[in-house]
Structure 1
Amino acid sequence: MSEDQQQIDTEKEMNLVGHLSELRNRLIVTAVFFIVFFIAGFIYVKDIYWFFVNDIDLELTAISPTEIIWIYFSMAGLVAIIGTIPVLAYEIWAFIKPGLTPHERKASLSYIPALFLLFILGLAFGYFIFIHLIMPFLLSLNDGMFNIMFTVDRYFKFLLRVTFPFALLFELPIIAMFLTSLGILTPDFMVKNRKYAYFVLIVVGVLITPPDFILQIVVAVPLIILYEISIQLSKIVYRKKLKKHEEFMQDES
């Protein structure tokens, strides 16, 4: 092996080590923020708990000390996840920034606030569906037959199971725009695979709602609308990307 080839291999190895070191540091920063938000959530867990409980006309029961511990950790974890999302998004953006053009850097950085807001909107939408549609439907099935008792553990696990998928799915428009700006995704691909996307979204709607056809439609329709919005936003980004490319080629010629 020649000295030039050895030097090239050494530089590649050093670059790889440098990237891994940078990635580790950014993950550490994200973990530190997660811990800070977790501690904040732990401190205010009572206020968070009563915020959720005030919306239901039910008395929750804890049947073991571990359920009390679980509610503290789950509420603190919820705060930590929500608070860490913009931090994680920024660290990912900062990590890939060297490989982006100045225009792509500016455009993709603006996605971070939208990413956070859509996550919050998804949680709020899921919570609205849970409180005003799912819970009333389930309670109506009782029809006076049973004494209803909800444990803290079961209630909040069910609540999180319903709301979190909405929070993640509400990120679809931003993810579609970001991947389109990077050239990974195209609106044509989303259009061609629309039927498969619809199927997945309907399955998600079925999994997070009770076995009632009307409820499943109510949940599935907003998700399908979100996908269509994602397609339109992807088209806008794609057209701008093509326009920039054409301008660049004209300047070069």
Structure 2
Amino acid sequence: MTSYTEDMNIIAAEMRKKLYLFIIVLFTTFSVSFQFTNPLIRNIKEGLLPEGAKLVYVSPLEVILLKIKIALVIGLFALLPLVLFFVISPLIKNRNIQIQISKRWLTMSAFFAIALFVTGVAYAYYIMLPLFINYLYLNASTSGVIATYSIFSFISFAVQASFIFGIVFETPLFLTLLTRSGIVQYKVLLEYRKHVYVFCLIAGAIITPPDIISQIMVGIPLIIFFELSLLIVRYTGGNRN
């Protein structure tokens, strides 16, 4: 009984340490990034706001809440490497699972995780968002509607979409880690391929406005990255049983 209590205390202490680390990283990143939210908002406005459209704020706290949300999103991004480490690291030490992930491979995974996230954000910001924001703006203009966007809604949507696509672009790496660790089998991914397609299209419909073009621009990349994930798993020696 004493041994069990000591083990639980050790586990609780380790969890507290990890929680404190998460809080420190989140708070530090939030505090620093909050100072740079003004130029970020200005760049998003200049880069994505259609010509002729205007941004307004409709409540006194709207702009400050927007800055807090942007800083929080950046803080969550800073937590991603820690989450990856604390989730994968115990698997490497667990001998009950046939782990095929070396420390070198894990380091490379961290590098590719950042690179894929940045690529996803760039895709959303420079390709997807300009296309369908302008499409929606032109569609409204032909109806004689003047576009006046809430600054919180417009900038939040751009930041949220970019963050989501950054996560989406992590799919190949995520599935590769799962298969190499033996948690998910390659044949299971193949078996449920059609189900994943449907999920990707539903996710596209949820993330984007109720517009078929926007849904396709989200759903198709999700499907492409799932197929790319299968290809990578196949040629990197993932668990295929």
- 3-state SS, counterpart of residue 156 of structure 1: helix
Distance 1:11 1:114 in 2: 41
Distance 1:168 1:236 in 2: 23
Aligned pairs, how many? Answer: 233
Residue 115 of structure 2 is matched in structure 1 by 117
- What are the ranges of 5 or more consecutive residues in structure 2 without an aligned counterpart? none
Q: Which has the larger radius of gyration?
A: 1
User: Structure 1 residues 225, 31: CA separation in 2 closer, same or farther (over 3 Å shift)?
Assistant: same
- 8 Å CA contact retained: 2:132, 2:213: no
Residue 18 of structure 1 is matched in structure 2 by 10
User: Structure 1 residues 39, 95: CA separation in 2 closer, same or farther (over 3 Å shift)?
Assistant: farther
Between Structure 1 and Structure 2, which shows a larger proportion of helix residues? 1
- What is the CA distance between 1:182 and its match in structure 2? 1.4
TM-score by length of structure 1 reads 0.81
Letter in 2 for 1:83: A
Residue 41 of structure 2 is matched in structure 1 by 49
- 8 Å CA contact retained: 2:121, 2:163: yes
- What is the CA distance between 1:12 and its match in structure 2? 4.4
- What is the CA distance between 1:167 and its match in structure 2? 2.2
Aligned: 1:168 with 2:160: no
- 8 Å CA contact retained: 2:31, 2:71: yes
TM-score by length of structure 2 reads 0.84
- 8 Å CA contact retained: 1:23, 1:95: no
- What is the CA distance between 1:29 and its match in structure 2? 0.8
Distance 1:13 1:73 in 2: 41
User: 27, 34, 40: which one pairs with 2:26?
Assistant: 34
Letter in 1 for 2:42: W
Higher relative CO (CA 8 A, sep ≥ 6), structure 1 or 2? 2
Residue 200 of structure 1 is matched in structure 2 by 199
Distance 2:151 2:212 in 1: 28
- 8 Å CA contact retained: 1:37, 1:84: no
- 3-state SS, counterpart of residue 65 of structure 1: coil
- 3-state SS, counterpart of residue 101 of structure 2: helix
1:189-227 CA distance string (max 9 Å, x none): 100000000000011112233444344333322211100
1:159-190 CA distance string (max 9 Å, x none): 24433332222221111111112110111110
1:21-66 CA distance string (max 9 Å, x none): 2122122112101111100111111121112111123431112211
User: Structure 1 residues 222, 127: CA separation in 2 closer, same or farther (over 3 Å shift)?
Assistant: same
- 8 Å CA contact retained: 1:186, 1:234: no
Residue 251 of structure 1 is matched in structure 2 by none
User: 83, 104, 127: which one pairs with 2:101?
Assistant: 104
Distance 1:112 1:194 in 2: 27
Distance 1:79 1:28 in 2: 18
Residue 248 of structure 1 is matched in structure 2 by none
User: 55, 62, 70: which one pairs with 1:60?
Assistant: 55
Distance 1:154 1:120 in 2: 23
Distance 1:11 1:232 in 2: 47
User: Structure 1 residues 211, 190: CA separation in 2 closer, same or farther (over 3 Å shift)?
Assistant: same
